[in-house]
Amino acid sequence: MSMSVIFIVLLIGLFVTGWHVAIEHGWASDDVCAVSDISCDEILESLKDLNDAGERLPSCAKVQIYVLGLSMAEYNVIALLFYLLMTGKIFEVVVCNRKNKNSL
């Protein structure tokens, strides 16, 4: 059961990170109003309040730093894919060991 939960959490993380990479590359829109039940007016008012306070929100479309030609979100996708692969392999080993013990 715990392996399933870990796998699901990693899949959710991969989805969110993949969405972020898609925004960075212009494959998806970062329009907040399109994915929220909150009215656009409320969101814009909150953003104006932050802007008036002197705080700047970073844009998801503008990558702040590249390391070896990849953004941090792209590294996160690679890491999450690796973790998913390892979780699947560990799950496979655990299940195979249980089957082998039960067959003895």
What pTM value is reported for the model? Answer: 0.63
User: Residue range 7-34: average pLDDT?
Assistant: 81
Distances 69 to 66, 73, 89 between C-alpha atoms, Å: 5, 12, 30
Task: Report residue 82's pLDDT band, with 50, 70 and 90 as the boundaries.
Answer: very high
Domain holding 48, by residue range, is: 2-103
Give the chain's mean pLDDT: 78
> Strands 70-71, 66-67: parallel, antiparallel or unpaired by DSSP?
antiparallel
Return the amino acid letter for 83: Y
- On the 0-12 / 13-18 / 19+ scale of CB atoms within 10 A, 19 is middle
Return the amino acid letter for 71: S
- pLDDT tens for each residue of 49-81: 776 666 666 677 778 888 999 998 899 999 999
* Choice between 18 and 38, residue whose per-residue pLDDT is larger: 18
When divided into structural domains, the chain yields a total of 1
